[in-house]
Structure 1
Amino acid sequence: MKNFIITAFIIFLSIISIFSGVATVNLSDIFVQGTNSNNIIFLSRIPRTISIITAGFGMSICGLIMQQLTMNKFVSPTTAGTADSSKLGILIALLFFPRESIIFKMLIASIFAMGGTFLFLGIVRKIKIKDNALVPLIGMMISGILSSITMFFAYKGDLIQSINSWLFGDFSGVLKGNYELLYITIPLVLIAFFYSKQFTISGMGEEFAVNLGINYKTIVNIGLIL
C-alpha cells in the first residue's frame, strides 16, 4: 500500500511538472501538431520530466549499491571519490578530445569514475579498523585530492566554466534530442535489481558471502561498474 501511494504521488507530481512553466499551455492545442502548446509539451516538458525521473532513480540506486558494498551508510558516490574522479575524466576529455561526441566524453568520465571508486575500495580493504566515520572520510580525502588536481589544470586551460556546466544538475534546458542518452540508466537499473540479493549478501562481508556460495569479488565489481 505504501509503495502504491508513493508511486501515485510521483505520477501526480510528474503531471504537475509537465504543465508547469513560464510559457502558457493551451490544453485544446496540446495534440495539434505544430502548435506552440504541442511543441512546449512534447519537445521540452515531457523530456524534462522523463530526465528528472530517470536521473533520480538511477542516482538513488547508485547510492544504495555503494552503501551495501562498503557496509557503510555514510558512503555514496559523492563521498567515495566517484564524482570527483568523473570530473577529472571530463577534464581529460575536454583537453584531449574536445571535438568528440558527448557519448565519447561521457565514456571517458565513466572510466575515470570507476577507476576512482576501485581506488577508494582498494584503500578501504587495506584498513583493518573500518569505523563508520573513517571510511567516508577516506573517500572525501580522495575526492579533495582529485578535485584540486582537476581544478588546477582546468584553471590553466581556462576550462573551469566548461567543467562546471557538466556538473550542474540543471534540467531547465532539456529538449527532445539531447536527453535520450539517459535511457541507458533503465537497463542498468534492471540489472541492479537482478543482482540485488547478491549485493545484500555481499554487504554482510566477504567471509559470509563466500560461505553462501557468492563470488564476492565478481559481485563487488559488477556493483561498481553499474
Structure 2
Amino acid sequence: VTPGSLMKLSENDKNILLNSRIPRTVSIILAGVALSVAGLLMQQLTRNKFVSPTTAGTMDFAKLGILIAMIFFTEAHILIKLSFAIISAIIGTMVFMGIVRRIKYKDAIFIPLVGLMLGNIVSSFATFMA
C-alpha cells in the first residue's frame, strides 16, 4: 500500500491494512509506551537514571515466560502466552528489586550491571532450554 493509493484501496489492500499493518503499528506504539513508563518507574524506585527494563532483566524474564508457555502449552492462545510473559516479567522485576535492596554499594553504574548480569543468566537459561 503506497501513500498515493490510500484514497482508492482495493479489497485486498483494505484487508492488509486492517488485519496486518494497523494492528502491528498500534501494538508497537503501545509496547513503546509501556516500556517507557516501566523504565521511568524503575528509575524512580531504584533512584538510578541508568536502569531500564532492558538493563534490569525484565525483558529476559518476559522471553523466558514466553518460552515456558510455548514448551508447556503449545496450543495455547496468544493471550495466554502474553500472560505468561507479563507475569514472568513482573516476577523478574521483583527479583531485581529484591537484589537491589540487598546491595550495600549502590553506585550509579553498579545497579544496572547487576541487572545485566541477572538478565544474561536468565537469557542463557532460556537459550539452553530452547
In structure 2, which of residues 76, 100, 105 is the aligned counterpart of residue 100 of structure 1? 76
Distance 1:52 1:150 in 2: 24
1:44-63 residue pairs with structure 2 within 5 A?
44-63=20-39
The one-character-per-residue Cα deviations of 1:65-117 (angstroms, maximum 9, x if unpaired) are: 11111111110111111111111111211111111111111111211111111
Q: Secondary structure at the match of 1:106?
A: helix
- Partner AA of 1:79 in structure 2: T
Confirm or deny that 1:26 pairs with 2:2: no
> Residue 139 of structure 1 aligns with which residue?
115
Alignment partners' CA distance in 2, 1:149 and 1:90 = 13
Whether 1:70 and 2:46 are equivalent positions in the alignment is: yes
Closer/same/farther in 2, CA of residues 140 and 47 from structure 1, 3 Å limit: same
After TM superposition, give the deviation of residue 39 of structure 1 in Å.
Answer: 3.3
Q: TM-score, normalised by structure 1?
A: 0.52
Aligned partner of 2:55 in structure 1 is: 79
> What is the deviation of 1:63?
1.1
Q: 1:71 to 1:97 in 2, by over 3 A?
A: same
Q: Where does the alignment leave 5 or more consecutive residues of structure 1 unmatched?
A: 1-21, 155-226
Matched positions, count = 130
% of aligned pairs identical? 54
8 Å CA contact retained: 1:88, 1:147: yes
In structure 2, relative to structure 1, the CA distance for the partners of 1:99 and 1:46 (3 Å cut) is closer
| 1-structure distance, mates of 2:6, 2:128 | 51
Instruction: Identify unmatched segments of 5+ residues in structure 2.
Output: none
C-alpha separation between the residues in 2 aligned to 1:148 and 1:46? 34
- Structure whose residues are more often helix by fraction: 2
* Residues 167-217 of structure 1: CA deviation (Å, up to 9, x unaligned): xxxxxxxxxxxxxxxxxxxxxxxxxxxxxxxxxxxxxxxxxxxxxxxxxxx
Larger Rg: 1
Matched to 2:5, the amino acid is N
TM-score, length-scaled by structure 2: 0.86
